[in-house]
């Protein structure tokens, strides 16, 4: 038996260790790996009626992936400009939401991690309480707030900034704000957990040596918080790129999300192989982004999982 398993069973006991190990294996293999492998297999299959499954036409093919790039055969364009544009816009928007959350959440996480007192617990509780409400209800609430007769337009018009209501939904401002708000805790708490363990004496020593606040964060805090930053960026990007409820509720007519295309292929077109191919493309893109984040911050998977 490997050494780490011996230590695991010695620490938790044989019975509890087997239960915990079985649950982890069931979660990892049964609920993650096997469904993804099934999706991968679907993505290489042609879209056939059920009676033809396993027949001579049910062979592996790349046509579902080719459709994403080139579109339908005999189309008027040489490539699938609509779906590729939606895919590109989704990835860029997810990166923008990730950067926005990082800029917004880093000061909050630093304040929470380096401050002491009961008011910090109250502040943290105020951040958590809104998330007791269902995500869909929060999205509808944001749609009301950003609507033409919503709170924001009422305030801006009352102050004389706008003469007429501004369409935050059609301009995708409500969508980006909704995505950023939906995953803000997933950026704050990984960074907070790391910064909380940072010795304040390091910051005080850098300040005594004449370092500015910018240099203190660039040379001391940020390098120490890299695992939390990379973990937060990874989760926010993947969830933003894979969001479905927020784009459907808060998105304007021209803000089609790639996950909505996947949903249409599965449910509206009943084309599971095509939907599976689109889902695999999005999954691989997210994995490549995670690897890029790890390389950028020079962290490994163990650091992200801390």
Domains of the chain, each with CATH number or no CATH: 80-304 (1.10.3720.10)
Between residues 277 and 211, which one has the greater pLDDT?
Answer: 277
Q: CA 157 to CA 144: how far, in whole Å?
A: 16
| pTM over the 0.85 mark | yes
- Would you call 169 helix, strand, or coil by DSSP? coil
Query: Which residue is listed with tokens 């007769």?
Result: 149
- 121 sits in the region (left: phi over 0; alpha: psi -120 to 50; else beta) called alpha
Q: What tokens appear for 259 in the block? A: 């996950």
Q: Exposure of 297 by Cβ count < 10 A (0-12 exposed, 13-18 middle, 19+ buried)?
A: buried
* DSSP letter (8 states) at residue 196: T
Could you give the CA distance from residue 99 to residue 183 in angstroms, rounded to a whole number?
12
303, pLDDT greater than 70: no
| 162 CB-near residues (< 8 Å, 6+ apart) | 153, 156
pLDDT at site 204? 85
pLDDT recorded at residue 242: 92
Q: pLDDT value at position 71?
A: 80
Mean pLDDT (the chain, rounded): 86
Q: What is the pLDDT of residue 74?
A: 64
**Poorest-pLDDT segment among 26-35, 49-58, 169-178:** 49-58
Residue 1: per-residue pLDDT: 63
Asked if 219 contacts 162 with a C-beta cutoff of 8 angstroms, the reply is: no
Q: Determine the pLDDT at residue 281.
A: 95
Taking only the tens place, the pLDDT of each residue in 153-202 is: 999 898 888 888 888 988 888 999 999 999 999 999 999 989 988 888 88
**CA–CA gap between residue 232 and residue 305 (Å, rounded):** 11
pLDDT of residue 130: 84
Q: How far apart are CA 63 and CA 274, in angstroms?
A: 9
What are the DSSP calls for 217-245, one per residue? IIIIIHHHTHHHHHHHHHHHHHHHHT--H
Predicted confidence (pLDDT) per residue in 232-241, tens digit: 998 999 999 9
pLDDT for position 94: 93
Q: How confident is the model at residue 274 (pLDDT cuts 50, 70, 90)?
A: very high
Residue 228 predicted with pLDDT over 70: yes
Please classify residue 90 by burial: count the beta carbons closer than 10 Å to its beta carbon, then call 0-12 exposed, 13-18 middle and 19+ buried. Answer: buried
For residue 95, pLDDT over 90 is answered with yes
Give me the pLDDT at residue 302, please. Answer: 64
Share of the chain above pLDDT 90, in %: 33
Sign of the torsion angle spanned by Cα atoms 133, 135, 139, 142: positive
CA distance 82 to 265: 14
Please enumerate, as own/partner, the contacts of 22-25 that have beta carbons within 8 Å and a separation of 24 or more.
Answer: none
Calculate the CA dihedral of residues 199, 201, 206, 208 and round it to 10 degrees: 160
Neighbours of 134 (CB within 10 A): 10
Q: Which pLDDT score is estimated for 75?
A: 62
- Is the per-residue pLDDT at 96 higher than 90? yes
What is the C-alpha to C-alpha distance for residues 163 and 115, in angstroms, rounded to an integer? 43
Are 244 and 260 contacting, i.e. CB atoms less than 8 angstroms apart? yes
- Rounded Cα gap, residues 306 and 302, in angstroms: 6
Determine the Cα–Cα distance for residues 156 and 147; give it in Å rounded to an integer. 12
- Mind listing the pLDDT tens digit for each residue in 1-18? 677 677 777 887 888 888
What average pLDDT score do residues 273-282 get? 94
In this prediction, residues 70-92 reach a mean pLDDT of: 84
Segment among 7-21, 91-105, 191-205, 213-227 with least mean pLDDT? 7-21
């Amino acid at each position: 038996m490997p050494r780490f398993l011996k230590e695991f069973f010695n620490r938790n006991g044989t019975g509890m260790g087997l239960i915990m190990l079985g649950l982890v294996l069931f979660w990892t293999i049964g609920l993650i790996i096997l469904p993804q492998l099934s999706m991968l297999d679907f993505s290489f299959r042609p879209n056939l009626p059920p009676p033809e499954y396993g027949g001579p036409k049910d062979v592996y093919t790349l046509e579902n992936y080719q459709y994403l790039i080139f579109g339908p055969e005999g189309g008027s364009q040489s490539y699938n400009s609509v779906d590729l544009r939606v895919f590109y816009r989704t990835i860029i928007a997810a990166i923008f939401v990730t950067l926005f959350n990082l800029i917004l959440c880093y000061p909050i996480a630093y304040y929470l991690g380096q401050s002491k007192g009961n008011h910090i617990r109250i502040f943290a509780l105020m951040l958590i309480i809104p998330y007791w409400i269902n995500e869909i209800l929060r999205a509808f609430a944001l749609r009301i707030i950003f609507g033409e007769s919503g709170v924001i337009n009422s305030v801006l018009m009352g102050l004389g900034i706008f003469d007429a209501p501004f369409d935050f939904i059609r301009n995708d401002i409500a969508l980006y704000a909704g995505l950023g708000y939906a995953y803000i805790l997933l950026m704050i708490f990984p960074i907070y957990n790391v910064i909380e363990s940072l010795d304040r004496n390091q910051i005080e020593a850098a300040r005594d040596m004449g370092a500015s606040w910018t240099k203190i964060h660039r040379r001391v805090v940020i390098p120490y918080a890299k695992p939390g930053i990379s973990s937060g960026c990874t989760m926010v990007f993947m969830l933003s790129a894979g969001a479905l409820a927020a784009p459907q509720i808060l998105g304007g007519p021209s803000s089609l999300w790639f996950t909505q295309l996947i949903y249409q292929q599965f449910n509206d077109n009943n084309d599971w192989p095509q939907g599976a191919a689109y889902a695999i493309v999005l999954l691989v893109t997210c994995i490549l982004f995670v690897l890029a984040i790890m390389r950028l911050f020079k962290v490994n998977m163990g650091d992200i999982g801390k």
